[in-house]
Structure 1
Amino acid sequence: MSISAEPTPIEYIEQLLDEQRFEEAESLLLEQLNRKKNLAAVYNALAIIAIESYQDYHRAEKYYKQAIDYHENSSTLYFNLAILYEQFLDQPLEAMSCYEKAIELDSNYVDAYINLAELCIDLNHDVERAFSCSQRVLELEPNHARNLNNLGCLFIKYKNDAQSAIPYFEKSVALSTNPATALANLADAYVRAERYDEAKEAYEKALELDSDNPLVCHNYAHVLRHYFQAYDEAASYYRKAIEIDPYSLVSYQGLRSLYAHNLHDSKSAVEVLVSALAYFNEEEGLVLEIANMYDFELNDYKKALHYYERVLEINPNNLLALNALAYLNVEIVKDYLVALDYYLRVLEVDDETPSTYVNIGHLYFYHLSDYQLAKRYYLKADARIQGKKSPIKYAGELYYNLGMIYENYLSDEYHAIESYEKAVSLGQDQNAQKKLISLYTHQSSRIH
């Protein structure tokens, strides 16, 4: 009969950690530190407990640094500290420094090279460093699937070289135990290389392995839409991407564009964007886009007014919404005082654009019959037009109206003639010409 040996204290602590009995393990580790302070392995284990049991990442950082103080040549400790900085403390530059230290201590540390390369890729930082790390791993482990995928990403992202990327992705797919990510990247590379049938097949295989990847669903929808004209199938993948990640606006926009431009269904297109408001209700640009679609594409002015007003709730100084509300209140609602209020709010934000003064002048001239105020705003527009080097298309109407005000309401023939002449000088304005001829004739008869 043989008796199995009792585990050593270190083995027993490792067993407790494996079984996630963290409190017992921590108690034994602290007992060891009471007996001897310079135990790097103990501080390393305490850091693991701080992460996994307490989610106290700053305490873990302190333990790792204490461990390094007692074992400053440990590449593993620097690697562990880098992981902490990268994944838990959101300190990528500190993480990079620790990965580099781990590599300095162990020039064959494959995982450190790979993590450093991926961090460089994610941060768009020191691309050549990422390439050199990946090339080093290629020397150490030519068949490392993750590294091959990284090399493909580097060629795609920074060299814009899909042809060079494809063999790396293909090899990564062949070697990986879970090739979903490499397949998705391979599909993207095939698209860039205009190998659309192969891209379609790769996307389908990637989704078989990882059906809940919203980016892959979105990219596959894009390919189905643009290269296979499979609009219904594309719509289903856009919807799936939205269902998986409703906080990614890009898939809503893809589905909206499909309905609007491929299926010519503006109503469904705007409904997609309205559904996005459940997650992006403060997204000014989205609300404005919805308002514009109701206004210009669907002629649903009631809803357009509603969404333009929502834009102003988000940003009271949005000039596009203020101008649209002013215009709709003039042309559709016929509430000229409300329109005037919106135009005056436009001036509070931008008092240099001539068209706003022209629009206010038109309001007073055509609808409110206040010709003095109409003249005042037309003249303010004229003062700003004089500073413009390029021609202003609405200036002719402005000067014609000024002439009408001077002639018919202010009995000022001199300025009427001056205004009509300006209108005529801007183009073939027959009404202004007739007015000028009439006034010239009238003045001539008065002289004789």
Structure 2
Amino acid sequence: MSDKNQLGVTYMKEKNYEEAAKMFNEAIEENPNDPVAYTNFGNLLAMVGELEKAIVFFNKAIEIDGSIATAYYGAGNAFYNMEQYKDAIEMFLKSLQNNLDESDAYFMLGMSYYQEGQLPHALANLKRAVELNVDDIDAKFQYGLCLAQLEQIDEAMKVFIEVIERNENHADAYFNLGVAYAYKENAKKALHYFDRAIEVQPDHLLAGHGKKKMEELLEN
């Protein structure tokens, strides 16, 4: 990576986007065939919400070097944020084919499949994301949700409990445990977890609704 690329990345991390753009621009001018500079510029544009422009830069990087995994990954994120999930899937798959064997890539691929309603594909990729990074609470929670949607309730519950063990303030994990216990017709346990969700997040409407339903059930 040229010095200007490195400087640009440093500026980007410092949120000094103007200087970062200047550096990447100079890097491109000095070496118009540098795919890394185009990828960095794409990441910068994506960061400031210029998603369509970002994709132009990622495509340019890919044109120069068809094996640049980070450009595919960047394009995948941009497409995901534009809610173009099919395009996102294609890009994330290409990033993995080009050896970006990282938790984030599997997580984003899993989320793209999830948005497309392709739950078995989503599950496989979210599972891989969790295997590669056991500390990724987001990936773990989404994996649990996916299991629940595929009606693998016991497995989902284990995952939600792991999420709570890592983050005792995860209101949505408590809520989903409540839903799972309600599904299993254990109103008492369901109520307990809906209460915990509300303790953590008092404005959790779904948990409030669940709590009311369980209280009515227990009264009858």
Aligned CA distance change for structure 1 residues 168 and 254 (closer, same or farther; 3 Å): same
Does the 8 A contact of 1:291 with 1:305 survive in 2?
no
Aligned CA distance change for structure 1 residues 330 and 254 (closer, same or farther; 3 Å): closer
Structure 2 residue runs of 5 or longer lacking an equivalent are 203-207
1:381-420 equivalence runs, <5 A: none
Show the counterpart of 1:253: 141
Q: Aligned partners of 1:307, 1:192: CA distance in 2, in Å?
A: 32
TM-score normalised by the chain length of structure 2: 0.75
1:10-409 equivalence runs, <5 A: 110-111=2-3, 113-123=4-14, 125-158=15-48, 160-176=49-65, 179-192=68-81, 196-210=85-99, 212-227=101-116, 229-260=117-148, 262-263=149-150, 266-277=153-164, 280=166, 282-285=168-171, 288-294=174-180, 296-304=182-190, 332=218
Q: Aligned partners of 1:245, 1:301: CA distance in 2, in Å?
A: 34
SS of alignment partner, residue 142 of structure 1: coil
Does the 8 A contact of 1:200 with 1:220 survive in 2?
yes
Q: Aligned partners of 2:77, 2:173: CA distance in 1, in Å?
A: 31
Q: Aligned partners of 2:81, 2:163: CA distance in 1, in Å?
A: 29
Aligned CA distance change for structure 1 residues 116 and 302 (closer, same or farther; 3 Å): same
Q: Aligned partners of 1:302, 1:208: CA distance in 2, in Å?
A: 48
CA deviation after TM superposition for structure 1 residue 242, in Å: 0.8
SS of alignment partner, residue 105 of structure 2: helix
CA deviation after TM superposition for structure 1 residue 198, in Å: 4.1
CA deviation after TM superposition for structure 1 residue 296, in Å: 4.5
Deviation per residue, 1:235-260 (Å, 9 max, x gap)? 10011111111211211232333344
**Number of equivalenced pairs:** 215
Cα RMSD, aligned residues only: 3.9
Structure 1 residue runs of 5 or longer lacking an equivalent are 1-108, 334-448
CA deviation after TM superposition for structure 1 residue 307, in Å: 5.3
Q: Relative contact order (C-alpha < 8 Å, sep 6+): which is higher?
A: 2
**Which structure is larger by alpha-carbon Rg, 1 or 2?**
1
Deviation per residue, 1:293-340 (Å, 9 max, x gap)? 34555442454467579x59xxxx7686xx999x9799749xxxxxxx
Aligned CA distance change for structure 1 residues 318 and 162 (closer, same or farther; 3 Å): closer
Does the 8 A contact of 2:178 with 2:191 survive in 1?
no
Q: Percent identity?
A: 19
CA deviation after TM superposition for structure 1 residue 177, in Å: 8.5
Aligned CA distance change for structure 1 residues 267 and 146 (closer, same or farther; 3 Å): same
Q: Which amino acid aligns with 1:122?
A: K
Q: Aligned partners of 2:61, 2:150: CA distance in 1, in Å?
A: 38
Q: Which amino acid aligns with 2:161?
A: V
Q: Aligned partners of 1:185, 1:201: CA distance in 2, in Å?
A: 12
Show the counterpart of 1:372: none
Does the 8 A contact of 1:294 with 1:303 survive in 2?
no
Aligned CA distance change for structure 1 residues 224 and 318 (closer, same or farther; 3 Å): closer
CA deviation after TM superposition for structure 1 residue 173, in Å: 2.7
Q: Aligned partners of 1:168, 1:266: CA distance in 2, in Å?
A: 43
Does the 8 A contact of 1:187 with 1:199 survive in 2?
yes
Q: Aligned partners of 2:215, 2:88: CA distance in 1, in Å?
A: 51
Aligned CA distance change for structure 1 residues 302 and 294 (closer, same or farther; 3 Å): farther
